[in-house]
Structure 1
């Protein structure tokens, strides 16, 4: 194997039929190239080239060596090119942890073009309200609200600030007068969200001006996902605490109504994040860029 470079040098001379041009192609001096080929001939015990002051030609042994190794060197070169291309072509599985709402409304629409463009790319989207540790659970990317991202992560905004809203159906509000202040929520049938990591119900965070309150509500229903909360509210089973964008179409269609609208809180928008100490694959880089590019940053 230590003679492979000598064979490459010999092949360059055989193709060019000229030591000067071959030396330029290989980036070596003509004298060094001549010594390399001569050393190869001495090891093989056969002359491979016939040299004159005007030309270089192949001996029978040289012709045979060329016909033997040229296709193999071409094959090796092609395979090396394929491997280099692989480094730039996204392949493998990218695992993302997020919530179902974020997966449906943001992540899935933005990664679809990548899946069509790169058939060797696989994306695994795991819905999880437990704020999983992406390192411990071997995720490549996380998508969460900005204030939920650990400080040692690389993070970038991918969505505008998120406003949460309280909604109820006209049917429910007809028999249960709308609350006037946050404390009145304790008198209502409220639909709760359970957080798996804390094994606790999510308190409803509300804000009006500089006033902030956290209300622990109660009711007949508890879910571990935001979508059933919206459906239960639409069906008149109580008040729900959901992203405002999610409920807005139903409010516009008068299937739901805002409750305590002047107390709706706004949180830092969604961020994509990943470990700062981990070198990302090309596939991960492309997914991150797709998520970031979907969020047009407005000039201030």
Structure 2
């Protein structure tokens, strides 16, 4: 915009009729210009006459057979044409920005959700949406996403605040007991839950409560039982627990979505396959009044697609209990 130019009611009215003039100048016909703009030929003619009146000079020389640009019309076309094209392009680009996933996206989530779902999905998400600026906080406690400036969060379960919208990205699943082949080569595999008490174990301490999370095992035919491992190795997150398990430090109970590829590849072995710990579904939640931005919508849909692939992957393990608990 030129220095000293001020947009006001009068200057805004000067733009009225400019698109019609440009269409007439390009097509050299009021009829064809009117068809392009979706108006009547008489309306097109009136718009150009009104523009000429405001400018104080004729822009188009009319005759019964043809029309042509006056010298003033040609000069006006040379200046107004590129300027109006730039304005149209800027408008289209701005409209595109409002629908294209881009800009900052702040998220909060527990460590297990990050390790098992978000981290594996990040590479393909970044490739698909390079203009989204992700900021991820891994928390061991529930946080107020509005008060702390987050756009959305990931949480287990269905009990969320009334003023948020929740989108389920992963249905109810399970945690399973696993051990490394090397560990089981030196230690007989347990045949019943109580046998686990005689094994080395790795457990997680809840960052929310500070307690060691017990293993609340259930089996479709044999009821349920609680296992409190004796003298375990205690860690603060699922990733460390899985890593120690892979390296043969004992038996652990980990989310199936964190270990299903390790089970498939033989790096871990499923212990007590008829027993598991039920897990609640995982949701993405965000404030009702904000709604989904294009960036958040893209993130949610990407995670849902990733989790549907994961669900298919767990089904391929061929474990009946997986189908039973994940339904």
TM-score, normalising length: structure 1: 0.77
1:224 and 2:236 are equivalent in the alignment: yes
CA 1:243–1:10 in structure 2 vs 1: closer, same or farther (change >3 Å)?
A: closer
Deviations 1:35-86 (A, max 9, x none): 3322222232222221111111111111111112111011111111211222
**Out of 140, 150, 160, which is 2:151 matched to?**
140
**Out of 139, 149, 153, which is 2:165 matched to?**
153
Q: Tell me the secondary structure at the aligned position of residue 97 of structure 1.
A: strand
What is the alpha-carbon distance in structure 1 between the residues aligned to residue 160 and residue 225 of structure 2? 22
**Out of 5, 13, 19, which is 2:30 matched to?**
19
What is the alpha-carbon distance in structure 2 between the residues aligned to residue 23 and residue 253 of structure 1? 71
CA 1:269–1:154 in structure 2 vs 1: closer, same or farther (change >3 Å)?
A: closer
CA 1:149–1:182 in structure 2 vs 1: closer, same or farther (change >3 Å)?
A: farther
Q: Tell me the secondary structure at the aligned position of residue 23 of structure 2.
A: helix
What is the alpha-carbon distance in structure 2 between the residues aligned to residue 29 and residue 253 of structure 1? 73
User: Residue 215 of structure 2 contacts residue 277 of structure 2 at CA under 8 Å; is this kept in 1?
Assistant: no
Point out the more displaced range, 165-174 or 78-87: 165-174
**Which residue number in structure 2 is paired with residue 32 of structure 1?**
43
Count of equivalent residues:
296
What is the alpha-carbon distance in structure 2 between the residues aligned to residue 52 and residue 244 of structure 1? 80
CA 1:44–1:231 in structure 2 vs 1: closer, same or farther (change >3 Å)?
A: closer
What is the alpha-carbon distance in structure 1 between the residues aligned to residue 257 and residue 125 of structure 2? 26
**Which residue number in structure 1 is paired with residue 303 of structure 2?**
291
Deviations 1:120-144 (A, max 9, x none): 2233333333244444433334334
CA 1:224–1:136 in structure 2 vs 1: closer, same or farther (change >3 Å)?
A: farther
What is the alpha-carbon distance in structure 2 between the residues aligned to residue 262 and residue 49 of structure 1? 86
**Which residue number in structure 2 is paired with residue 98 of structure 1?**
109
Structure 1 gaps, min length 5:
none
TM-score, normalising length: structure 2: 0.72
TM-aligned CA deviation for residue 181 of structure 1:
5.4
Deviations 1:192-234 (A, max 9, x none): 4232333433333222447445555664643221233344456
What is the alpha-carbon distance in structure 1 between the residues aligned to residue 125 and residue 265 of structure 2? 34
User: Residue 115 of structure 2 contacts residue 258 of structure 2 at CA under 8 Å; is this kept in 1?
Assistant: no
What is the alpha-carbon distance in structure 2 between the residues aligned to residue 67 and residue 257 of structure 1? 75
User: Residue 217 of structure 2 contacts residue 277 of structure 2 at CA under 8 Å; is this kept in 1?
Assistant: yes
What is the alpha-carbon distance in structure 1 between the residues aligned to residue 169 and residue 201 of structure 2? 31
**Which residue number in structure 1 is paired with residue 291 of structure 2?**
279
TM-aligned CA deviation for residue 183 of structure 1:
11
What is the alpha-carbon distance in structure 2 between the residues aligned to residue 5 and residue 219 of structure 1? 81
**Which residue number in structure 1 is paired with residue 17 of structure 2?**
6
1:68-217 correspondence runs (5 A): 68-147=79-158, 152-158=164-170, 161-165=173-177, 169-170=183-184, 185=197, 191-209=202-220, 211-214=223-226
Q: Tell me the secondary structure at the aligned position of residue 53 of structure 2.
A: helix
**Which residue number in structure 2 is paired with residue 41 of structure 1?**
52
What is the alpha-carbon distance in structure 2 between the residues aligned to residue 72 and residue 278 of structure 1? 36
Q: Tell me the secondary structure at the aligned position of residue 130 of structure 1.
A: coil
Q: Tell me the secondary structure at the aligned position of residue 240 of structure 2.
A: helix
Q: Tell me the secondary structure at the aligned position of residue 201 of structure 1.
A: coil
